[in-house]
Amino acid sequence: MNAKRIQSNEFLLAVEGLTVSFDGFKAVDDLSFYLDPNEIRVIIGPNGAGKTTVLDLICGKTRASGGSIRFKGRELTKMREHQIVHAGVGRKFQNPSVFEDLSVFENLEVSYPRGHTVMGALAFKRDSAVEEAIEEVAETIFLSEMLNEPAASLSHGQKQWLEIGMLLIQKPELLMLDEPVAGMSVAERKKTAELLKVITTRHTVLVIEHDMQFVENIADRVTVMHQGKVISEGSIEHVKADPKVVEVYLGH
């Protein structure tokens, strides 16, 4: 028990024995995995494997029935969603939810960690530190030239990048992304892979993705889920060669 606790503190995120049941159905079943700082981990697996539910549990949207989620040694399963954000965990959902009527600059500005409402955040006087942070993030997400454009005018891929930027400006240590390249062009997918590699120089990234080409481009390690459990884990080469993974996922 003691040894486990000490070990868990060395990981950025330690998920142990995580379980959640919906009406008796275990969507996540005694799941354990560990994230090192600055790695890109990709969770893959067939539809209904429980991947999105794992992200819901980590960000506090869904309550665990059992097990633990320790982030930098702090237990997340008892915390509320806003406390988990405050602790340094950011989550992007599959569909972009940017403010269409605001400019790219304003979208990043309202996401800057101060103020609690859009109007309240905009009422703050802009200072050079905020502008600098916005410009730095805009460059990272390939939108420096679009700062004054309304978000509504961006392509689907650019909206996805803006939403990643809206997370980055809050400086979360762990970023969780659910199918970030869904609906993107080939060129946008390549740029998103570059973006994630830059991001992991400062952050840890946990991604759910079905696009295996993209997974091969970005993953340090891959965790394969099936029926709420981890069935394989390791390098992309390792999991691709694992007969269990081929049987339930890659062979289809």
Ligand X SMILES: Nc1ncnc2c1ncn2[C@@H]1O[C@H](COP(=O)(O)OP(=O)(O)OP(=O)(O)O)[C@@H](O)[C@H]1O
Q: How far is the CB of 63 from ligand X (least distance, A)?
A: 11
Binding span for ligand X by CB under 6 A among 10-18, 49-57, 126-134, 235-243? 49-57
Binding span for ligand X by CB under 6 A among 43-51, 69-77, 181-189, 194-202? 43-51
Q: 95 in helix, strand or coil? A: coil
For ligand X (CB under 6 A), the number of binding residues is 10
Is residue 92 close enough to count as binding ligand X by CB under 6 A?
no
Is residue 50 close enough to count as binding ligand X by CB under 6 A?
yes
Distance CA(124)–CA(108), nearest Å, equals 14
Question: Which pair of structure tokens corresponds to residue 123?
Answer: 């009422």
Burial of 199 (0-12, 13-18, 19+ CB in 10 A): buried
Residue in 2, 47, 128, 148 binding ligand X, rule: CB under 6 A: 47
Is residue 48 close enough to count as binding ligand X by CB under 6 A?
yes
Three-state SS for 171-234 is CCCEEEEECCCCCCCHHHHHHHHHHHHHHCCCCEEEEECCCHHHHHHHCCEEEEEECCEEEEEE
Closer CB to ligand X, 5 or 80, in the complex: 80
Closer CB to ligand X, 141 or 218, in the complex: 218
Is residue 226 close enough to count as binding ligand X by CB under 6 A?
no
Which is nearest to 26 in space by CA: 50, 58, 51?
A: 50
Distance CA(225)–CA(103), nearest Å, equals 39
Q: How far is the CB of 39 from ligand X (least distance, A)?
A: 21
Return the CA Rg of the chain: 19
Residue in 12, 13, 18, 53 binding ligand X, rule: CB under 6 A: 53
Binding span for ligand X by CB under 6 A among 44-52, 81-89, 183-191, 196-204? 44-52
Residue in 33, 45, 161, 245 binding ligand X, rule: CB under 6 A: 45
Q: How far is the CB of 17 from ligand X (least distance, A)?
A: 18
Distance CA(140)–CA(175), nearest Å, equals 15
Is residue 140 close enough to count as binding ligand X by CB under 6 A?
no
| DSSP of 115-129 | -SSHHHHHHSPP-HH
Neighbour-count burial for 105-124, b at 16+ CB within 10 Å, e otherwise? bbbbbbbbeeeeeeeebeee
Binding span for ligand X by CB under 6 A among 50-58, 109-117, 169-177, 235-243? 50-58
Residues that bind ligand X (CB under 6 A): 22, 27, 45, 47-53
